[in-house]
Amino acid sequence: MPKLINLSPKKSLNHSRLLFTLAIGSLFLIAPLLSTAKIYQAEDYIHPVAPAKEHAKLSFIIAKQLQYQHYRQMVLDDKLSSKVFDAFIKFLDPNRTFFLASDIKKFERFRLLIDNNFRRGELDNAFGAFNLYQKRHAQRLTYTLNLLENHFNELDLSKNESLILKRDKLAWPKDLTEQNNLSRKQLKNLIISFKLAGKKDKEIQKLLIKRYKSQLNRIKQTNSEDAFRIYINALAESYDPHTQYFSPRVSENFDIQMSLSLEGIGAMLQSEDGYTKVKRLVPAGPAEKAGQLKAGDRIVSVGQGTGGELVDVIGWRLDDVVQLIRGKKGTTVRLELIPQKSKDEHKTKTIKIVRNTVKLEEQAAKQEIIEITDNNGQKKKIGVIDIPAFYIDFRAAQAGDPNYKSTTRDVKKLIKELKEKNIDGLVIDLRNDGGGSLQEVNSLVGLFIKSGPTVQIKSADGRIAQLRDEDESVDYTGPLAVLVNRLSASASEIFAGAIQDYNRGLIIGNQTFGKGTVQALQPLEQGQLKLTHAKFYRVSGGSTQNLGVLPDITFPALYDKDDIGESSLPEALPWDQVDKVDYDNFPALNTTFATLQEMHKKRVAHDPDFLYIQETIERIDKKKDKKTVSLNFSIRQKEYQKSRQEQLAIENKRRIAKGEKPFKNIKELDEDEDVLGLNDDHDKDEEDDKKKGDSHTMLLESAHILLDFIHLKQDKLVNK
């Protein structure tokens, strides 16, 4: 274990040696350095970047387009200038680690000049701040590397110190001494995390040296386009989080992802606090079908093939991480992850995904039947239609192919099949459905209502248009429920909102994502601008933006709203409402909600899977509230062991209740494929679903709720 020895200055230490030691910033480690010690200098890795000649014109054009074409019509003035300033500094230093308080004080002089800078195409202030950030970043990395290379065994892990994890609301370090102390503590925290994960000291030292050297080399590769992109996006994302400038290289990656022609893993990624974070999975893509990668997971390292070296990607540019993950169809990529549901950063897992292309037919809606025995002992059939995306084969449709694929056409066929099997009710499963074709969601609503408006769309100029179902025919008139979760977004929310507004069916699950805005791509001389130009509203007048759709019957939330969802994004457009439109709704359903919720609670009160999910969520929430961590290894080890024992106890409680063999120890628990026990319900293997037992939990309970609803309605009719 690294141990700090007595490092007070010795009288024999000559003056020049002391000054040399102080010069590299080791204000707390002033033991004599060996002549063979490797010293990293920040100056060897930094090079100032200057705006390219096209950037001045481009910045002016983008600022003008945002001001006059964005849905949120904001004047480029001092107020917006101040907001862009804060966003830019946060982009560069989100955890207030690199800049000193004196740096921020210097920057303040151009806080209210940014609007003028954009009008004139001036970028000197922004590039000056970026270059200082690069310098400070390199200083932190070289400082930490010097500790790792020359003082690793002197870091004291028995000292009672603590580290504040989230610093975004704290003051910047006031001087180099305070900053060095922070860097030392952050390094100790990393070392402890790796030790808790079972890694040995030499392995930890080697891994971290490699990580920080890699980050230093990436600083050397930074160019003017990187600086420009960050600055312009500080402006763009001050309007809303879905408005972005794509540089030519990033634009190419975006186009490939949108066309689904990418030979990769089928995941949308984003950069957050130095990590590459999974934004969402492409329906029916390799990652979703593998069932191990989830939205919110953070990628720590990437390896090629089944045995290739894992390359640490913390601190990498997003487009470089994308290049590393992308590869030929049929090849394997390995990802080391910090799972979204794990708040312990040392608790990583490594998964394998075989790269492939996403095929439209694999995204098609699917049906199944769940058989349930009701309270009277009678067998009932609940049909389920799983819709992974709102898709349409535009090319085939435009070519006149009578068999072109689309969500509505497929669901229409599935409903017919289920009706022929005499189902008693139908559940539409929209969990993890991130949306898709607006045309398709409009026509899909039409399968369940006679005719009428389905959604309102308000443009930046205030005009409101409606999408309507004009087809009087109804394909399904029976009892209906829609199952949603936090990852149900955009078109999914329009469908769920319309079904709820029309009183056509129950909405079950969790509050949805809240993505109620419309974007369009605008080509630029260099790259593209993705700009928000409209907003969705329900027929009842309320927006789906930010708030999403609130379920009638609520399930435990598997995703943290603070981490995932529109409301978690900075500068997200607010919820608001417009006038309600005329539509013929069905009789009110809300008189049954309280009874249904009580029946649901009573049923799951002793359900092992629901109890497990609830207890695990509560356990994670407690950890989330923790603001600081101890840097005493012994204390952290005890905390970690206690936490793992709690996890083992919760898991075994579930297994025993289900008649399964409990795990003997933590090792057995870790060897289980779903160590967190919270797999989503879209697993790749139906037989494995049945063996696993918990993968169908939410869907099965939705079927029970719908059956309860059917009985309540029947009882009401009988008692009239």
What would the pLDDT profile of 548-595 be if each residue is shown by its tens digit?
Answer: 999 999 999 878 888 889 999 999 999 999 999 999 999 999 999 999
CA distance 541 to 213: 54
Please, are residues 41 and 142 in contact by the beta-carbon 8 Å criterion? yes
What would the pLDDT profile of 610-621 be if each residue is shown by its tens digit?
Answer: 988 888 888 877
* DSSP assignment string, 318-344: HHHHHHHH---TT-EEEEEEE-TT---
- Label residue 359 by pLDDT band (50, 70, 90): low
In this structure, what DSSP letter does residue 543 have?
B
CA distance 660 to 358: 37
The two structure tokens encoding residue 193: 């995390």
* pLDDT mean across residues, the chain: 86
The two structure tokens encoding residue 712: 């309540």
Tell me the angle at which helices 176-196 and 124-150 cross, rounded to the nearest 10 degrees. Answer: 60
- Secondary structure of 377-410 in HEC code, one letter for each residue: CCEEEEEEEECCCECECHHHHHCCCCCCCEHHHH
pLDDT of 16 > 80? The answer is: no
- Residue identified by tokens 């199952």 is 483
Please, are residues 274 and 255 in contact by the beta-carbon 8 Å criterion? no
- Label residue 689 by pLDDT band (50, 70, 90): very low
Task: Report pLDDT for 513.
Answer: 96
Catalytic residues: 490, 501, 515
Backbone angles phi, psi at 293, to 5 degrees: -90, 135
Exposure class string for 620-635: b at 16+ Cβ within 10 A, else e: beeeeeeeebbbbbeb
CA distance 83 to 239: 10
Backbone angles phi, psi at 267, to 5 degrees: -140, 140
CA distance 204 to 197: 10
- Label residue 111 by pLDDT band (50, 70, 90): very high
CA distance 505 to 425: 10
- Label residue 120 by pLDDT band (50, 70, 90): very high
CB atoms within 10 A of CB 714: 10
CA distance 179 to 172: 9
pLDDT of 274 > 90? The answer is: no
Sign (positive or negative) of CA dihedral 703, 704, 706, 710: positive
In this structure, what DSSP letter does residue 134 have?
H
What would the pLDDT profile of 177-186 be if each residue is shown by its tens digit?
Answer: 999 999 999 9
The Cα-based distances of 133 to 82, 86, 286, 599 in angstroms read 19, 14, 38, 57
For residue 135, the surrounding DSSP H or E stretch is: helix 124-150
pLDDT of 345 > 70? The answer is: no
CA distance 629 to 189: 8
Sign (positive or negative) of CA dihedral 269, 272, 277, 281: negative
The two structure tokens encoding residue 175: 């001087």
Average of per-residue pLDDT across 598-610: 93
Computed on alpha carbons and rounded to an integer, the radius of gyration of the chain in Å comes to 28
- In the chain the first and final C-alpha atoms are separated, in Å, by 76
Tell me the angle at which helices 224-236 and 124-150 cross, rounded to the nearest 10 degrees. Answer: 110
Task: Report pLDDT for 603.
Answer: 94
- Label residue 686 by pLDDT band (50, 70, 90): very low
3-class SS of residue 63? helix
The two structure tokens encoding residue 244: 């972005």
The Cα-based distances of 98 to 15, 183, 189 in angstroms read 30, 9, 17
Average of per-residue pLDDT across 411-425: 97
Tell me the angle at which helices 633-657 and 176-196 cross, rounded to the nearest 10 degrees. Answer: 40
Among the listed residues 367, 478, 454, 494, the one whose alpha carbon sits nearest the alpha carbon of residue 418: 367
Average of per-residue pLDDT across 462-484: 96
pLDDT of 674 > 60? The answer is: no
Pick from 29-33, 325-329, 482-486, 694-698 the range whose average pLDDT is largest. Answer: 482-486
Average of per-residue pLDDT across 686-699: 51
Task: Report pLDDT for 489.
Answer: 96
pLDDT of 458 > 50? The answer is: yes
The two structure tokens encoding residue 678: 């919270």
Task: Report pLDDT for 720.
Answer: 45
CA atoms within 13 A on the CB side of 459: 8
- Label residue 250 by pLDDT band (50, 70, 90): low
CA distance 254 to 574: 26
The Cα-based distances of 633 to 1, 158, 192, 214, 533 in angstroms read 9, 6, 6, 27, 52
CB atoms within 10 A of CB 637: 15
Largest interatomic CA distance in the chain: 100
- Label residue 19 by pLDDT band (50, 70, 90): very low
Please, are residues 587 and 503 in contact by the beta-carbon 8 Å criterion? yes
Task: Report pLDDT for 377.
Answer: 85
3-class SS of residue 614? helix
CA distance 181 to 40: 18
3-class SS of residue 464? strand
* DSSP assignment string, 248-310: HHHHHHHHHHHHT---B--EEEEEETTEEEEEEEPTTSHHHHHT---TT-EEEEEEETTTPPE
Beta bridge partners of 480: 426
CA distance 141 to 610: 45
Average of per-residue pLDDT across 228-246: 96
- Residue ranges and CATH numbers for the domains of the chain are 1-239 (no CATH), 261-354 (2.30.42.10), 360-585 (3.90.226.10), 608-703 (no CATH)
pLDDT of 677 > 50? The answer is: no
Q: Which residues lie below 8 Å from residue 30, measured CB to CB, with a gap of 6+? A: 7, 8, 9, 13, 18, 21, 22
Task: Report pLDDT for 369.
Answer: 96
pLDDT of 683 > 70? The answer is: no
Tell me the angle at which helices 491-501 and 438-445 cross, rounded to the nearest 10 degrees. Answer: 20
The two structure tokens encoding residue 415: 């409903």
Task: Report pLDDT for 629.
Answer: 94
Positions of E strands within 436-516: 452-459, 464-469, 480-484, 506-509
The Cα-based distances of 718 to 389, 427, 495, 713, 714 in angstroms read 40, 25, 32, 9, 6
What would the pLDDT profile of 83-95 be if each residue is shown by its tens digit?
Answer: 999 999 999 999 9
In this structure, what DSSP letter does residue 579 have?
P
CB atoms within 10 A of CB 333: 23
CA distance 424 to 374: 12
CA distance 168 to 178: 16
Instruction: Report which of residues 654 and 82 the model is more confident about.
Output: 82
Task: Report pLDDT for 543.
Answer: 97
pLDDT of 252 > 60? The answer is: no
The Cα-based distances of 294 to 432, 683, 684, 693, 696 in angstroms read 10, 12, 14, 20, 17
- Residue identified by tokens 């006149």 is 400
